[in-house]
Amino acid sequence: MRDLLNVESLTISYRTRDHLVTALLEVSLTLAQGEILGIIGESGCGKSTFSSVIGKLLGPAGVVENGHITFGGKDVLSFSGQELRSYRANDIAYVFQDPMNTLDPTKTIGAQFRRLISASAWRQKAIEALAHVGLTDWRRVLPSYPHQLSGGMAQRAVIAMALIRKPRLLIADEPTAALDASIRCSVMDLLTAWCAEIGSAMIIISHDIPVISNYCDRIGVMYAGRFVEIAPAEDFIVGPRHPYAMALLASEPGQEGEDAVLQSLEGSPPPSISRAPGCAFADRCIYRTAPCSAGFPPLVACGSSKVACIRLGDIHGEAAS
């Protein structure tokens, strides 16, 4: 499969009143056309920063200190004006956690579709898109304002608006976190099915590891501004390699051992992302040794995965290559 997205050595920080806060550190990743990548990791590790910089949506405080992003071979960070508008309108689309923050509260759903599709056949296209996400009652939905829809209906409308123009990449940042548990799977089903139909790649950010492992081809685990493991989903779910990923999975409900006690991950992530050399997880890691604090562990191949840990050989009894 050809690469669609290529992120190389990306370092991003946010300007605050008196200093820079690091959010991503030397992050590299490729995404193939049509591939579904899931990203997991504790709050503050940089997931949303990573997803927003792909659309050049960092906001005025965001600073790209280093690195490149190419999309279909084009340099995203150099986009501006019409080129940036066209990229955001045609190549990528976003679905965020809260549909009410995405939709314009002052306009009906119909008016918001109309703004997206300039063609005279906008109404028919909107009706078809709504049917695609299970909203067949378009006579009610199109004239409704967002607050007149349930959260699930509003998120379906957002998905329809995101996919109607057949983007090459859909970025879903916790797309089901604000929805009732009962409809999360159906929303994920329709998102992934529609993306597969149009050949769109996807990046799904979620705290829900079972969801991520069900729907994704690969899983990227972030910790303190870096990917510490990137692995095929089916391998990850049966045997994560990085100690943080192992601890994260072991703390998932359903992973209780014979004593029926769920393991918790001791400690908390660093309050701010440090650039000091050494593995950021070392303080919480049961496998740490003195060299763990010496330098940044690079992502190295380990079976079908890439893992950033210098203790892999000792932990798993195999040498990383």
Ligand X SMILES: Nc1ncnc2c1ncn2[C@@H]1O[C@H](COP(=O)(O)OP(=O)(O)OP(=O)(O)O)[C@@H](O)[C@H]1O
Binding-site member from 2, 17, 43, 254 for ligand X (CB under 6 A): 43
DSSP conformation class of 217: S
Q: What span, in angstroms and rounded, lies between the C-alpha atoms of 128 and 318?
A: 52
Helix (H, G, I), strand (E, B) or coil at 27: strand
Chain positions 223 to 282 lying near ligand X, rule: CB under 6 A, are: 272-273
Rounded to the nearest 10°, the torsion over CA 88, 71, 222, 262 is: 70
Q: What span, in angstroms and rounded, lies between the C-alpha atoms of 273 and 144?
A: 43
CB distance 112 to 162 below 8 Å: no
Any contact of residue 296 with ligand X (CB under 6 A)?
A: no
Nearest-approach distance from CB 45 to ligand X, in angstroms: 4
**CA neighbor of 58 nearest in space, from 18, 21, 91, 31:** 21
Helix (H, G, I), strand (E, B) or coil at 239: coil
Window contacting ligand X (CB under 6 A); options: 16-24, 115-123, 125-133, 250-258: 16-24
Window contacting ligand X (CB under 6 A); options: 38-46, 126-134, 185-193, 247-255: 38-46
Window contacting Mg ion (CB under 5 A); options: 39-47, 123-131, 134-142, 272-280: 39-47
CB atoms within 10 A of CB 44: 18
- Taking the mean position of all CA atoms in its chain, how far away is CA 103? 20
Using CB positions, name the residue nearest to Mg ion. 48
Q: Of 47 and 132, which CB lies nearer to Mg ion in the complex structure? A: 47
Helix (H, G, I), strand (E, B) or coil at 306: strand
Q: Of 8 and 98, which CB lies nearer to Mg ion in the complex structure? A: 98
Binding-site member from 23, 130, 142, 309 for ligand X (CB under 6 A): 23
Nearest-approach distance from CB 132 to ligand X, in angstroms: 28
Any contact of residue 48 with ligand X (CB under 6 A)?
A: yes
Query: For the sheet containing 226-232, what is the strand order?
Result: 92-95, 169-173, 201-205, 36-40, 218-223, 226-232, 305-307, 300-302
Any contact of residue 47 with ligand X (CB under 6 A)?
A: yes
Chain positions 55 to 114 lying near ligand X, rule: CB under 6 A, are: 59, 61
Any contact of residue 48 with Mg ion (CB under 5 A)?
A: yes
Q: What span, in angstroms and rounded, lies between the C-alpha atoms of 282 and 140?
A: 55
Q: What does 20 interact with, of Mg ion, ligand X, none (CB < 5 to 8 A by kind)? A: none
259 vs 39, 250, 256, CA distance in Å? 30, 13, 7
Any contact of residue 22 with Mg ion (CB under 5 A)?
A: no
Q: What does 43 interact with, of Mg ion, ligand X, none (CB < 5 to 8 A by kind)? A: ligand X
DSSP conformation class of 77: G
Any contact of residue 192 with Mg ion (CB under 5 A)?
A: no
84, burial (CB in 10 Å: exposed 0-12, middle 13-18, buried 19+): middle
Nearest-approach distance from CB 289 to ligand X, in angstroms: 27
Nearest-approach distance from CB 157 to Mg ion, in angstroms: 22
Q: What does 44 interact with, of Mg ion, ligand X, none (CB < 5 to 8 A by kind)? A: ligand X
Q: Of 212 and 302, which CB lies nearer to ligand X in the complex structure? A: 212
Any contact of residue 44 with ligand X (CB under 6 A)?
A: yes
Q: Of 47 and 242, which CB lies nearer to Mg ion in the complex structure? A: 47
Nearest-approach distance from CB 313 to ligand X, in angstroms: 30
Q: What span, in angstroms and rounded, lies between the C-alpha atoms of 218 and 311?
A: 23
**What residue ranges bind Mg ion (CB under 5 A)?**
47-48
Which residues of this protein are in contact with ligand X, per CB under 6 A? 14, 16, 21, 23, 41, 43-49, 59, 61, 272-273
